[in-house]
Structure 1
Amino acid sequence: MNTQSDIKLTDQLERDLIERELGTQRLGFVNDAKRVIAAVQNVFTRLQAEARKAKVVYANG
């Protein structure tokens, strides 16, 4: 009986470890995706600022 409960405990620990590892990878992917989105938004923000500057120069020019 002890052997059977040891096997169940080991199986549960392995499943927990696998879930923790996969969960960490998913969070890493999500964080990477968020960083990429933020970088793209930064580029668009800079481009919009440059476009506004160009319009002011063209209008005054």
Structure 2
Amino acid sequence: MSTQSDIKMTDQMERDLIERELGPRSPSLVADVKSAIFAVQHMLSRLQNQARKAKIVYANG
């Protein structure tokens, strides 16, 4: 039993050390990345829509 608790304590100490070295993981970073991806997708969709309209206007023009 003592060996198992020593392993758990060592694992926790390693995780704490890694977190201190790398800094805490921020859930807001994930949200920011998702928001940026959504914005780019929205912009590309809008540009594609405008390109389709431009082709229709050009064809009818």
The answer, yes or no, to whether TM exceeds 0.5 is: yes
TM-score if structure 2 supplies the norm length?
0.60
- Aligned with residue 30 of structure 1, among 36, 39, 47: 36
1:1-61 equivalences in 2 (<5 Å): 9=16, 12=20, 16-17=24-25, 19=26, 21-55=27-61
Percent sequence identity over aligned pairs: 5
Q: Greater relative contact order (Cα 8 A, min sep 6): structure 1 or 2?
A: 2
Could you say which structure has the higher helix fraction? Answer: 1
- Number of residue pairs the alignment of both structures matches: 45
Unaligned runs of 5+ in 2: 1-12
In 2, Cα distance between equivalents of 1:16 and 1:50: 52
The runs of at least 4 aligned residues of structure 1 exceeding 6 Å deviation read none
RMSD: 2.4
Unaligned runs of 5+ in 1: 1-5, 56-61
